[in-house]
Amino acid sequence: MEAVDTPNFAYRLRRDAGGFVSRVWQHRLVRWLVYLAVLGVIALIALWFFVAKDLPDANALNEYEPPLPTIVRDVNGEPFHSYARERRVQLQYADFPPLLVRAYLAAEDRTFFQHGGLDYPGIASAMIDNISSSGRSRGASTITQQVAKIILLTNEYSYSRKLKEAILAFRMEDVLTKQQILELYLNEIYLGRNAYGVQAAAQAYFGKDIDQLALSEIAYLAILPKGPANYRPENNEQRAIQRRNWALGEMRENGWISDAQLQSARAMPLGTIQRQGSQFASRGGYFVEEVRRRLIDRFGETAESGPYSVYAGGLWVRSSYNPQYQAWTTAALRDGLIRYNGGKGWKDNIGNIELDEGDWARQLASTGKSTDYKDWRVGVYLGGNEIGFSDGMRAPLLGVPAAMKPGMLTAAAPSGSNWAVRSVPEVGGGMVVEQPTTGRILAMQGGFDNRLSSFNRATQAMRQPGSTIKPFVYAAAIDQGMTPATMIVDGTFCVYQSAALGNKCFRNFGGAGGSGAHTMRWGLEQSRNLMTVRAANDTGMTHVVKTIKTMGIGDYKPYLSFALGAGDTTVERMVNAFSMLVNHGRKLDPTVIDFAQDRAGQVIWPKNWKACRGCNTDDWNGGPMPRFRPDGKQLMDPVTAYQVVHMLEGVVQRGTATVLRDLDRPMFGKTGTTTGPTNVWFIGGSPDLVAGVYMGYDKPRSLGGYAQGGRLAAPIFKQFAKQAFEDVPARPFTAPDGVRLVRIDRRSGRRVYGAWPQGGPLDAVIWEAFKPETEPKRTIRTEEIAARSERQKRRQASTTRAKAAPVEGASGTQRDNDFIAAEGGIY
């Protein structure tokens, strides 16, 4: 056998193979195909590196939660306000009417259910148009691409963004169903008038929900995604109608409506309503602002603050807002401010605009100044006895004061065919209504109108409380061993301050001197400063200020002036402190929010909140009724708290708040007037409601010598109370365990045997509340009481005759002073 030359054979194989590759490579087509393949790989790498690498994950859309406004409900569960910077309402796909879905498909993406994310015929058509056009290029975005742009990308106009859209569209079609993509689109698309999503747009343009829209209205909404500004009804109505009719034609071409529907819808006018604000009426301005402030403190304001932010978290907030109480509170405070302002001159206290800058109506609207008091409106004085309003209307103005200059804003009210100047009170005030067993604030008014001044005087104004602090001074005294029957001297009281300052001598209100020894009860009812200071001094101011701090009123130094209300506090704090007295000294946190839920309905605050199962059952099953354990830390001896409330009932019956006596129900309260007088107060209520009000200038100055809490503040409370208590059964204040009710002589504080209270406000014998073993040991005989009552009747008859027949040369002021002296001082 002949041997084989192996190396030469291998060389020939390699040479033949190399020749084959060389011959193939010599073909131009092969080389171009290879070049294209290499370029394609490079392009894919570049596309990934420069475009696709940093694209957001389409899977995130499964967890996507759009920014939604916070909705606030009132005490009855009815929505009454929203915190929103954008109109948004999120619906599920099943909530969208089929005809509405088809309208958007006809106008935006008729092959949506057939393509995989891109519309290739549309892209080819757009490319041809863009090559032949020198203007802005036309796009061919599908609904999927639009969702990618809205949620995952920006509005940047560039080819790179279009590439990103295309890539994300493919990815989205892999992770979401067509229905999920449409749901995102119909909830997120911007449609003008600050409306995002079709439900918000339906309300913005037609004041309807989407299931109430007519075909012509649906078609109009369907043309808006391409450019809402192009079809604004205010200035492009005909263009909008033409485009709407085009959308209707597209629907007919796809067989989604009949010829009759087409013709009927095309014949309809546009039918849009005037642009308007929130769907909720403007109510409870100061209250809802306080809710907003507390929500922001807890959850943050924007989406960057967390998932439960006020303007993006979609919270559902149950508040304690009582719309009836709020209306009564607002009216009572406003009427009180108007009464005080009556007869005072017009004040330039709303604002000004520059008429020289032109377009005064726009300037006026931009100030946001308005009011809903009666039929008043805020306008700008144009000069020449003419007023202008934010809607451009001009009208003759009556009663123009000399101080009013063109450009000044003023309130005005209709007067026949003209308008008349009205004065917004310069004096301010605040009022709070609270439930004394829970701390829930049911109503809050922080001034005349929050549209004129956003400063909330109920929670932000730090004012001296005056004599409304005295119940807590006496509470400290009771805790240190005194009783409501303890005799305290109403006489001159001086304290040594320092070598430089010397003695400080206290006086009663109006400079009145003392009137001898009286019971603590009498001192509180008549609001005697000298008795209060003496009780505080005997108790020790360290104990007094500790009690005041414990009750949440303020943190003061142990100076005697604080026993007369020299420290600063707010209406909210004072009302809550009085509520804790009614609550037997248990701690209350004043709240405006009952609970907050996330967008899925889960309660997120308070953390220990639990639903009361079966609390609203229609039928009682005969079992034991639920008994709720008292909540809150015990801040004050419950008996002490009740003793103070019991004394404060006397303030209404025969003290400084007798203006409330004809309400004819168990009620307690305390008036207050600060030096100047700069502030007047009243705080009080019933076992069911506690309310407080103060009145004073924002920059404190005298209200006038006649100003007292009983004259100005108590009537404001009374106006509210007459309405709030109209259908509420009268209920007495409940006494806690350990209270001993004993009959005493009201004047001397001595114990009485053989006589009984008759139920009148001026009875000589009354029931007084004591702690065990603190009842008075001294007694008074019934004959002494009868004799003193007879003397009191003769004195009152003499005073009445003196009033009816004035003595020649005697002034009215002197007669008033004689009466006050006889009664021991009125405050």
Q: What whole-number distance in Å separates Cα of residue 380 and Cα of residue 364?
A: 7
275-282's contacts with Cβ under 8 Å and 24+ in sequence apart are 275/193, 275/204, 275/234, 276/204, 276/207, 278/81, 278/82, 278/84, 279/82, 279/203, 280/79, 280/80, 280/81, 280/82, 281/80, 282/372, 282/451
DSSP 35-77: HHHHHHHHHHHHHIIIIITTPPPGGGGGG----B-EEEE-TTS
pTM here?
A: 0.81
Q: What whole-number distance in Å separates Cα of residue 200 and Cα of residue 197?
A: 6
Contact 738, 772 (CB under 8 A): yes
DSSP 629-687: PP-S-B-S-HHHHHHHHHHHHHHHHHSTTGGGGGG-S--EEEEEE-STT--EEEEEE-S
User: Positive or negative CA dihedral for 785, 790, 793, 794?
Assistant: negative
Contact 644, 631 (CB under 8 A): no
> Cα dist. 724→324, 436, 720, 727 in Å?
8, 15, 6, 8
Q: How many CB atoms lie within 10 A of CB 133?
A: 10
Exposure string over 415-429, b if 16+ CB within 10 A, otherwise e: eeeebbbbbbbbbbb
Which residue type sits at 134? S
Task: Give the start-end residues of each E strand in 416-557.
Answer: 418-422, 428-434, 441-445, 487-490, 493-498, 502-506, 516-519
Contact 315, 308 (CB under 8 A): yes
Contact 678, 696 (CB under 8 A): yes
Closest by CA position to 463, among listed 567, 563, 590, 562: 567
Q: What whole-number distance in Å separates Cα of residue 37 and Cα of residue 47?
A: 15
Out of 216, 309, 453, 467, the active site residue is 467
Q: What whole-number distance in Å separates Cα of residue 209 and Cα of residue 458?
A: 38
pLDDT for residue 128:
60
Instruction: Quote the tokens at residue 40.
Output: 């394609």
Instruction: Quote the tokens at residue 138.
Output: 């036309």
Beta carbons within 8 Å of 80's beta carbon, 6+ residues apart: 72, 73, 74, 280, 281, 283, 284, 321, 323
Exposure string over 705-738, b if 16+ CB within 10 A, otherwise e: eebbbbebbbbbbbbbbeebbeeeeeeebebeee
Angle of helix 98-108 relative to helix 178-188, nearest 10 degrees, comes to: 90
Q: How many CB atoms lie within 10 A of CB 78?
A: 9
Helix (H) or strand (E) run with residue 520 in it: helix 520-525
Contact 380, 360 (CB under 8 A): yes
Sole residue written with tokens 């308070």: 606
pLDDT for residue 815:
40
Contact 751, 784 (CB under 8 A): no
User: Residues 191-215: pLDDT tens digits?
Assistant: 999 899 999 999 999 999 999 999 9
State the Cα angle at 254 between 258 and 248, rounded to 5°.
60
Q: Is 78 one of the catalytic residues?
A: no
Q: What 3 state SS string does 109-146 have?
A: CCCCCCCCCCCHHHHHHHHHHHHHCCCCCCCCCCHHHH
Out of 108, 165, 188, 525, the active site residue is 108
DSSP 447-465: SS-TTT----TTTT--B--
Q: Is 494 helix (H, G, I), strand (E, B) or coil?
A: strand
pLDDT for residue 145:
80
Q: What whole-number distance in Å separates Cα of residue 248 and Cα of residue 264?
A: 10
Q: How many CB atoms lie within 10 A of CB 324?
A: 14
Give φ, ψ of 609 to 5 degrees. Answer: -70, 140
User: Residues 675-699: pLDDT tens digits?
Assistant: 889 999 999 999 999 999 999 999 9
Contact 546, 554 (CB under 8 A): no
Contact 233, 270 (CB under 8 A): yes
| Residue 243, CB-side half-sphere exposure with 13 Å CA sphere | 21
What is the phi-psi region of residue 385: left when phi exceeds 0, alpha when psi lies from -120 to 50, beta otherwise? left
Q: Is 808 one of the catalytic residues?
A: no
DSSP tag of 305: G
pLDDT for residue 821:
38
Q: What whole-number distance in Å separates Cα of residue 400 and Cα of residue 419?
A: 10
Closest by CA position to 493, among listed 529, 453, 525: 529
**What is the C-alpha R_g of the chain?**
39
Sole residue written with tokens 């084989």: 4
pLDDT along the chain (827 residues), means of 10: 52 55 70 73 55 56 78 93 85 93 92 78 60 50 80 56 67 82 90 91 93 95 92 90 95 94 95 75 86 95 89 93 96 96 90 90 92 94 94 93 95 94 96 97 96 95 96 97 95 80 77 82 94 95 97 95 94 98 97 94 86 65 66 93 97 95 95 93 97 96 91 97 94 95 93 89 92 85 65 61 45 40 36
Q: What whole-number distance in Å separates Cα of residue 561 and Cα of residue 545?
A: 11
